[in-house]
C-alpha cells in the first residue's frame, strides 16, 4: 500500500496521521511476532515494536503541546497492514518478514516526508529525525535478513 502520510499541509494533521501510522505498525508487529517461528526474529521485531510505541508517545506529546488530542488507535490501514501479515503468516517466516518490509517501506516514506515539514519546530524535527532513523534501521534489518533466507 502506498502512503500519503507526510504530505499534510498542517503540522497537527501530519502528527496525527503519523501517530495513527505508528499504531497501525504496532498492530502489524504484534501479528507478526505471534506468527514467527524463529525466536531471533521475534526478539528483533519486539524491539522494533517498542520503537513504534515510543514514536506514539513522543509525537503524541508534541501534538498535545499544539492543542490537539493524540489518536489512541490507528485507522483502516491497520486492517491492511495486519491482514497482510496474517495472510503471509501462512507461508512462513520469510513471507512474514517480506510483508513487514512493505509496511516499513510506507513508514520510511512517511517519516522522510515528515522530517522536511515546513512548520516543524526544532523539537518536533528532532523527534521526526529519531523516528526516521528507527524506520530506516527496521527496514534495513528486514532487507538484510530476507537476503539471508
Cell of 64: 498535545
* pLDDT number for residue 139: 98
Find out whether 27 and 77 touch, Cβ atoms under 8 Å.
no
Could you give the CA distance from residue 107 to residue 49 in angstroms, rounded to a whole number?
13
Position 98 pLDDT exceeds 60: yes
CATH code that applies to domain 11-148: 1.20.1260.10
Position 97 pLDDT exceeds 90: yes
Find out whether 68 and 12 touch, Cβ atoms under 8 Å.
yes
Position 88 pLDDT exceeds 80: no
Half-sphere exposure at residue 120, Cβ-oriented, CA atoms within 13 angstroms: 21
Could you give the CA distance from residue 14 to residue 106 in angstroms, rounded to a whole number?
14
Least confident of 29-38, 83-92, 102-111: 83-92
Position 31 pLDDT exceeds 70: yes
Q: Which residue has the higher pLDDT, 1 or 100?
A: 100
Positive or negative torsion for Cα 104, 36, 30, 58: negative
Cell of 125: 524535527
pLDDT band at 91 (very low <50, low <70, confident <90, very high): confident
Position 76 pLDDT exceeds 70: no
Least confident of 52-66, 69-83, 115-129: 69-83
pTM for the whole structure: 0.92
Position 68 pLDDT exceeds 70: yes
Q: Return the closest-CA partner of residue 6 out of 142, 146, 135, 147.
A: 135
Enumerate the domain spans of the chain: 11-148
Mean pLDDT in residue range 68-85:
72
Position 86 pLDDT exceeds 70: no
**What rounded mean pLDDT belongs to the chain?**
92
Amino acid at each position: 500500500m502506498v502512503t500519503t502520510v507526510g504530505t499534510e499541509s498542517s503540522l497537527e494533521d501530519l502528527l496525527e496521521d503519523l501517530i495513527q501510522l505508528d499504531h497501525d505498525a504496532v498492530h502489524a508487529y504484534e501479528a507478526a511476532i505471534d506468527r514467527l517461528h524463529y525466536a531471533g526474529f521475534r526478539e528483533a521485531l519486539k524491539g522494533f515494536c517498542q520503537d513504534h510505541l515510543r514514536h506514539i508517545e513522543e509525537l503524541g506529546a508534541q501534538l498535545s503541546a499544539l492543542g490537539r488530542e493524540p489518536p489512541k488507535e490507528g485507522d483502516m490501514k491497520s486492517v491492511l497492514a495486519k491482514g497482510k501479515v496474517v495472510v503471509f503468516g501462512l507461508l512462513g517466516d520469510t513471507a512474514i518478514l517480506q510483508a513487514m518490509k512493505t509496511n516499513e517501506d510506507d513508514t520510511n516514506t512517511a517519516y522522510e516526508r515528515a522530517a522536511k515539514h515546513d512548520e516543524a519546530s526544532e523539537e518536533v524535527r528532532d523527534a521526526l529525525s529519531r523516528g526516521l532513523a528507527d524506520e530506516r534501521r527496521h527496514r534495513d534489518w528486514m532487507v538484510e535478513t530476507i537476503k539471508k533466507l
